[in-house]
Chain A
Amino acid sequence: MDDDDYWNTSETKAKAFSFDDDVLSPQEILAIGQKPYSGSGEEGILNSSISNIKPALVPISSLVSSKVLDLLVLAQSGKDLKETKSEPEETVAITLKRLVLGRSCSLHVHRSLKSKTELLDGAVAIGDGNAILTVVLFLIQTLNKKLVYELLSSWPLALSHYIGNLQSEGKISELTDLLTMLGRSPDSAIYQFQHSIKNQGDNVDGLLRKTNNLLANHFNQPGVDAHQAKMIADYVKLLEWQSFAKKNELNNKSALECLAYCCKLHWSEGAGNMMSPLTVCQRQQISPLQYEWVVLNVQANLNKWDIVESLFTKKDWLGRTTLSSHIPVESLLARLSELRAGARLLATAVNTVTNTEERLRLAHKYKIHSVVIETLAKQKDRAALTNYKMTLNPQSEEYIYAENTLREPRTCIASQMLNL
């Protein structure tokens, strides 16, 4: 039996190392006998059995100084001087405090899973993100991923710091792995989307490739919100259209901005044409309300009021002009007046309001004089009409109209009948 085998035999091992054994070894018995002369049992064991037999030794102090002795111990331990001093003090609390205070500190003294877990618990409990992230990154370095992910899943705050860090470092594949492992693939889809948006700039072909890829591989996963997936699909459609249009100013612009572009430059093109406003509308399913708003703004800014009028008004079978629009009349009036539309169009718009009081209020607000005068005349409110006349600029068209209306109540009624 060689030495190694001797130490590894469980029988001998148990005897050699167990101090609680009921059966006393010869040395122990002897030690008990000498107890009155020695301070502690353990020292006694060694003194008793050996010193009597072996020749006397010189004191260790005559061999080496105590300093050198310490050095010998230190050398065998492989530690440096400072470390041995500070190590016992380096508790979790002290490390955390140093982290929070922004002092330099090495986390590597915390090697057991227990103290690593305590570090994370403590950092999260204090709530200082700087400390939390430092601890998480330390765990990532020193523990296997599965263990770290398990820890992170019970600490949402630590997880969000780690996610944020992966995002800002652009480590998107690692982020995807993490979220997939945690069963959060829908979140990972949107993170990836955000990342590709922020990195591709306005490069339509790059975006198209990336987004198509995301749509096929991530937004079709179970758990992904159906509407979100539809929005991504619509995005792909728009990018395809932009890729076809090949206009730099349209790159990665919104659907309405593309529509505005087409309204400006391709207004008369028919539904079959790719650049026709109608094509953009159908592809991106733009609602009539948004369509009308864009056309109104684009054409009015180009001073093409005939197009605006033909969009909103039509003649009925009596030859009267009526207005129909998806834009609620008050918003329409506000915008028309901002765009400096003509008085006739404003009057047509406000006349669609059937409630007299409301019509009067709006006509007042947007200074549509003809409608105010007509409505007051219809109400036979002479006093109000006279007052209103006073607010108008004398010699202006509307002033004369008001005066005429006041002078000839009958014609006023007649003109109303004509308007009916």
Chain B
Amino acid sequence: MDQPLQCKLSSLCLISQHKLEKILSLCGDKADLIIDSSLIKPLERICGVTWLRQHGIEKIYKMDPQLGQTANTNKIYFISACKHKYKCVLDQISSQLSQNPSLADSKCFNIIIVPKVLHTYDSILESKGLYGVVKLHSFSWELMSLDDRLLSLELPFLFKQLYVEQNHSLLSSVSMSLWSLFQVTGQPKCIISLGKLSSSVLNVLEIYNETYTRDYVSKHTDEIDTLLLIDRNQDYASCLLIPATYSGLLNEIFNITCGHLDLNVKETKYKKGRINFTTVSEENNKKVTMTLDSSIDNLYGEIKHRHFSEVLSVLSSKAKLLKNEDIKALGIQEIKHFVSTKLQQVALFKQNLVNHVLASETIISEMNNKFENVTYTESEMLNNRNKKSNFNFVDENFGTDIQIYNSLRLMCLLSLTQGLTYDEYNNLINKYLLAFGYKFLYVFQNLINAGLLFQPVSLKLTLNISNLSGLSDRLPKWQNSFQNQAAKLKQLPSQVDKSKTSPSYVFNGSYVPLIASISNILLTSESLTEALTKLSNSLELKLSGSLLENMKLGIETLNEKLSNLKLNSELDYRCLDVKSLLKKFKTDSKLSSEFNFKTKSVLVYVIGGVTYPEIAACDVVQNATGSKIYVASDCVASGSDYISACF
């Protein structure tokens, strides 16, 4: 049990494998696995084809609405919790039943749903007359360790559901991932949550704890003493800004799923986002995949968090080293030794080197002309300077080299940091719709719902009383509210600081991601009390964790909590808001002494995806404070992923 934490985290996939094994054992032998293609990469991290064969899977098919007959009667569909996909599977099963009604009694249809079966799925099953014919299984795989201190649940559709559609049906999966993680690592002393979803996740986490682990003595751990749970919408700027780090830029240009990069230099994300003026379609070239994991590719580990301007020189120095090694005169014995031990390594290293150079070249050719101007304008927006010329920059971008997702990023950033007038807002929308089609009018409503865009009010608009309540949420609270908030947490460096000592280098020296800023306060304060005092000045935090259990604070049963619930108040099940906790300290010295410890390691869990520059920024804080920061989320996303979730 005393393995290093990173080892344990990498082994979480064994628990996932065990969970899957239990499900497959219920599905019978000689089955066809029909898998949704988006789940292939994550499944590969859990088990291989051989393993599946050993566990009763004979043939594997990709899920396709037009899929015809498959080899075996026993069928296991493997899909994510998406109602559309689910119904598609049910339709397919129905059509098979209509051809062969006797299948209904053979219990041969199984659907495995990641991460869980929702209650409505049962009613849909019933309404389609398939109850008892089809069996549903929840598969909640564990967090996947993608890289050193980087965990991901690999549910990339979660942001769209949680923030754009405000559908919180899968929120409990986040709780479950934390709950099972803590079975492995032990309970953190202190859990800090920021945002509504985070506090709901804590409520459900407590229900899991109360139901399943009440009788166990909960283990404590020093390896992760603090969990910071945070809603994505607490820091949208970190999603919208163009990153300056290598890994961040990779994710801007290439598709990365589950830690695998698809090195397609012809059809980059940037090119696909433009209006296509040429009809020549690029032929499919050979597929090259890079695994973004520093334990497999040391070179990646060395450059992933670097400012992009340094990357090429690192790569060329590596190439020179390699050259020198080749020239070295070797004796026969040495050659033998080299071939048997090192050759493969060197060949692999060379391949990685070539791929990184290729990727860097593509980044340069795609970003070359724009990078400087865009980052300059972004920095002006962040600091609320020259609004007029910032708008002109965005306006020109919409009028000329407009991109389906990235142009909206600029618009959202301007709206977030400096606001847009009614006319500016509509001017941009008009240009956008001309370029990509009026059909995308609804996208703006979705951006507003997600909180990525703020709709200005027309002075001419006749105010509808019933609309007023919704209106106040949509307006930025006051002028400069973004800058005021960011200044309190020192997220806006006074001068542009590109040195790697400030986490702001990840955005070219102009912005420190919120999670890095909070982690920094937690890890540099003398005590948790001091950190909480600093943080609660500007943030509405809640606190829970084993510390509270020791103090018998906030311990009420769910029943009592619910019966005392006031309309529209929050549940705060076994957690306290930090401000009132700090007040209690003044009168209760014993209580405050419990909070006198110094935080040494933090797990940051962002609900709704985390970005590479944020991870890089946490790395800087970690190194500066000599501590450990682990980053977890439901996926690793890029800015354009957040915008595309609104389509």
Residues of A within 8 A of B (CB): 91-93, 96-97, 99-102, 118, 121-122, 125-134, 137, 154, 157, 160-161, 164-165, 168, 182-184, 186-187, 190, 193-194, 197, 222-223, 225-228, 231-232, 234-235, 238, 252-257, 260, 284, 286-287, 289-290, 293-294, 297-298, 301, 326-328, 331, 334-335, 338
Measured CA separation A335–B84 after assembly (Å): 42
Most buried by B among A121, A127, A164, A190: A127
B460 near A226: Cβ-Cβ < 8 Å: yes
Can you name 18 A-B residue pairings with CB atoms under 8 Å? A97-B558, A101-B207, A118-B562, A126-B200, A127-B200, A129-B168, A133-B169, A137-B120, A154-B568, A232-B441, A234-B438, A254-B435, A254-B437, A255-B437, A257-B437, A287-B399, A289-B396, A331-B396
Could you say which residues of chain B place their CB within 8 Å of the CB of A334? 369
Contacts beyond the supplied A101-B208, A234-B433, A254-B275: 11 A-B pairs with Cβ under 8 Å: A100-B207, A126-B571, A128-B171, A157-B168, A168-B84, A226-B460, A254-B434, A257-B275, A287-B431, A290-B431, A290-B435
B562 near A96: Cβ-Cβ < 8 Å: yes
B434 near A284: Cβ-Cβ < 8 Å: yes
B442 near A190: Cβ-Cβ < 8 Å: yes
Measured CA separation A252–B464 after assembly (Å): 34
Interface residue from B123, B277, B466, B558 paired with A184 (Cβ < 8 Å):
B466
Min CB distance B375 to A, Å, is: 16
Q: Which of B572-593 contact A (CB under 8 A)?
A: 573
Could you say which residues of chain B place their CB within 8 Å of the CB of A99? 119
A102 near B117: Cβ-Cβ < 8 Å: yes
Min CB distance B271 to A, Å, is: 12
Could you say which residues of chain A place their CB within 8 Å of the CB of B170? 129-130
Most buried by B among A126, A228, A254, A335: A126
A93 near B442: Cβ-Cβ < 8 Å: no
B538-563 CB mask vs A (1 if < 8 Å, else 0) is: 00000000000000000001110011
Q: Is chain B's binding surface mostly helix, strand, loop or mixed?
A: helix
Min CB distance B637 to A, Å, is: 21
Measured CA separation A194–B167 after assembly (Å): 17
Closest 8 CB pairs of A and B: A127-B200, A129-B168, A183-B466, A235-B438, A125-B571, A129-B169, A194-B442, A160-B166
Min CB distance A87 to B, Å, is: 16
Min CB distance A174 to B, Å, is: 16
A121 near B400: Cβ-Cβ < 8 Å: no
Interface residue from A125, A186, A254, A293 paired with B400 (Cβ < 8 Å):
A293
Measured CA separation A184–B120 after assembly (Å): 26
B67 within 8 A of A: no
Task: Given A101-B211, A232-B438, A232-B441, answer yes or no on A293-B167 (Cβ-Cβ < 8 Å).
Answer: no
B197 within 8 A of A: yes
B467 near A164: Cβ-Cβ < 8 Å: no
B350 within 8 A of A: no
Most buried by B among A93, A128, A184, A187: A128
B430 near A165: Cβ-Cβ < 8 Å: no
Could you say which residues of chain A place their CB within 8 Å of the CB of B565? 121-122, 125
B400 near A327: Cβ-Cβ < 8 Å: yes
Interface residue from A122, A128, A226 paired with B168 (Cβ < 8 Å):
A128
Could you say which residues of chain A place their CB within 8 Å of the CB of B431? 287, 290
A129 near B435: Cβ-Cβ < 8 Å: no
Could you say which residues of chain B place their CB within 8 Å of the CB of A301? 277-278
B190-213 CB mask vs A (1 if < 8 Å, else 0) is: 000000110111011001100100
Measured CA separation A207–B400 after assembly (Å): 28
Could you say which residues of chain B place their CB within 8 Å of the CB of A91? 559
B83 within 8 A of A: yes
Task: Given A231-B441, A301-B277, answer yes or no on A290-B399 (Cβ-Cβ < 8 Å).
Answer: yes
B558 near A238: Cβ-Cβ < 8 Å: no
Could you say which residues of chain B place their CB within 8 Å of the CB of A335? 400-401
Beta-carbon nearest neighbor of A104 in chain B = B122
B440-475 CB mask vs A (1 if < 8 Å, else 0) is: 011001000000000000101110111100100000
B118 within 8 A of A: yes
A129 near B171: Cβ-Cβ < 8 Å: yes
Could you say which residues of chain A place their CB within 8 Å of the CB of B396? 289, 328, 331
Beta-carbon nearest neighbor of A299 in chain B = B277
B437 near A252: Cβ-Cβ < 8 Å: yes
A225 near B458: Cβ-Cβ < 8 Å: yes
